[in-house]
Amino acid sequence: MKWMASPRHLRRLGVLGMNARNALYIGPNNPRRFYPRVDDKLLTKKLAIDVGIAVPELYGVVETQHGARRIDRILDGRSDFVIKPARGSGGDGIIVITGRIGSSYRKASGVPLGLDELSHHISNILSGMYSLGGQPDRAMIEYRVRAHSVFDRVAYHGVPDVRVIVYRGYPVLSMVRLPTRLSDGKANLHQGAIGVGVDIGSGRTTHGVWREAAVTVHPDTMYPIAGIEVPDWETVLRLSARAFELTGLGYLGVDIVIDSQLGPLILELNARPGLSIQIANRIGLRSRLELIDREADRKASPEARIAFSKTRFGSAP
């Protein structure tokens, strides 16, 4: 394999680069005034609840340093929750607590975390350590999603999520992100999670990418990652398509988790979704975006859009 691809070859394959994504798709399609709707997860959650889109339940919000020191009151005896910065990016600053060990909490990876460490972490969140631009932030405490059993063999200490790229309301490309030991149970590719392409038509996984290289098995469990059917795929597509109306953003990454009891829930939205999804699917994003620009109806209903995407982007069964 050559160590570098030729730009012409990539262009022919319809691969989307960072500059083209920013200048041609994010710039014209995502009005800046709508950014808070996705950058502030509390606002996203509120908007979603208002229109009846399923999201993980919010237990509490910490807004002051005083609150960070009295975190035990807010937790109110809970020992199973997720703490995340409301304006965080790239999964930074998220802590997943799955239980208690004595007086300490236990992280998803099994590492114990003392109460003062927890409140220090929250205080860092409030100071804006993880927020875009370092602005003061709020910490959210919310329901910890239980991974659906289909992912048992291919998820390491964490909850896989489904990332769907939605362009003008049309789902164009999707992948499942599987946590690994390297990613500390988090489902972010740059933290070491695996991305596995998902066929838009069938909801079945295809190929994997881990640290920018192709993989066929999960590196921790050694189980194959292809051919897994994402449960309730229709709902996943419907949630993604509706996220367009929710935010008004034309180019959007929708992160959906599939809870074992509650089914698909929108976890967060992303106005600048990454490009590795192309490697996971082995499909160039740009050719699909151009197809939407060329052929798709701008005023179609979410159902019509899903049908269009399934027929045009789904592989033959």
Q: Residue numbers of the site for other proteins (CB under 8 A)?
A: 1-7, 9-13, 15, 17-20, 23-24, 65, 92, 116-117, 120, 123-124, 127-129, 190-191, 207, 209, 212-214, 275, 278-279, 282-284
Report the residue number, 146 or 190, with the smaller CB distance to other proteins: 190
Residue 312, burial from CB neighbour count under 10 angstroms (0-12, 13-18, 19+): middle
Name the DSSP letter for residue 157. Answer: S
Report the residue number, 17 or 60, with the smaller CB distance to other proteins: 17
Q: How far is the CB of 46 from other proteins (least distance, A)?
A: 26
Taken as a whole, the chain contains a residue count of 317
Alpha carbon distance 301, 268 (integer Å): 22
Report the residue number, 11 or 204, with the smaller CB distance to other proteins: 11
Q: How far is the CB of 121 from other proteins (least distance, A)?
A: 9
Q: How far is the CB of 93 from other proteins (least distance, A)?
A: 8
Residue entry with tokens 């229109």: 51
- Sheet containing strand 194-198, strands side by side: 213-215, 205-210, 194-198, 170-178, 161-167, 251-259, 263-270
Q: How far is the CB of 134 from other proteins (least distance, A)?
A: 8
Report the residue number, 37 or 84, with the smaller CB distance to other proteins: 84
CB 91 within 8 A of CB 191: yes
Q: How far is the CB of 283 from other proteins (least distance, A)?
A: 7
Q: How far is the CB of 71 from other proteins (least distance, A)?
A: 13
Report the residue number, 178 or 279, with the smaller CB distance to other proteins: 279
Report the residue number, 219 or 263, with the smaller CB distance to other proteins: 219
Strands 170-178 and 95-101: unpaired
Strands 213-215 and 58-62: unpaired
Report the residue number, 260 or 287, with the smaller CB distance to other proteins: 287
Q: How far is the CB of 147 from other proteins (least distance, A)?
A: 23
CA 195 to chain centroid: 11
Q: How far is the CB of 304 from other proteins (least distance, A)?
A: 29
Report the residue number, 12 or 153, with the smaller CB distance to other proteins: 12
Residue 217, burial from CB neighbour count under 10 angstroms (0-12, 13-18, 19+): middle
Residue entry with tokens 């008004």: 248
C-alpha distances in Å from residue 53, one per residue of 46, 48, 262, 280, 298: 10, 5, 12, 27, 22
For the chain, the farthest-separated pair of C-alpha atoms sits apart, in whole angstroms, at 60
